[in-house]
Amino acid sequence: MNSIHSIDVEMIDGEVISLSKYKGKKLLIVNVASACGFTPQYEGLQELHNMFGDILVVLGCPCNDFGGQEPGSEQEIQSFCSTSFGVTFPMTKKLGIVNETHPLYAWLTSQEANGVVDAEVNWNFCKFLVNEDGQLAHFYASAVAPASEEIIGWVKA
C-alpha cells in the first residue's frame, strides 16, 4: 500500500512540498471553502492546530468544486482565513477534487490507492485522518466538527 508521504502538494504561498515532510505526525486533511455554511469550522481547525501542533498537522485544502464556494485567489483565501479566523495552519493552493482531481484527493478517495476506503467527498469540510506512517485512518463527512470526540480521541490515541 502506498503512503500519502509520496505525494507532493503546492502550498498557498507557491512552495511545493512533499507530504513526507510530515512523517511522524498525524494529518487532518480538510477541503475548505470561505463561503460555506461549514466555514466557521476554521475556528475548530485552528484550535486543533494550537492544541496538538506538536503531534498533528492540520492541512487545509481550498477547493471550489462544491457550490463554487471558494472563488477567490490564493491571496484572497489566505487573507480571509488569517483575518477572519486567525488561521496559521498550513494551506495548499486550490485543489480539484471532482474537477481535475489532484493526486492527493485521488489517493484519499480511492481504496485501491489508500488501502482503506473508497471515500466520496460530496461537500466542503470533509475530513481525512492520516496516521504518522502516512496511512489513511478515518474519513468523516462535513458535519463532523473538528473538535468532535471522534477526532480528538484519535489525535490523543
Active site residues: 36
β-pairing, 136-140 vs 127-130, is antiparallel
Q: CB neighbours of 35 closer than 8 A, spacing ≥ 6? A: 69, 70, 71
Max CA pair span of the chain: 40
Report which of 145, 141, 88 is spatially closest to residue 119, judged by C-alpha positions: 141
d(CA 45, CA 53): 11
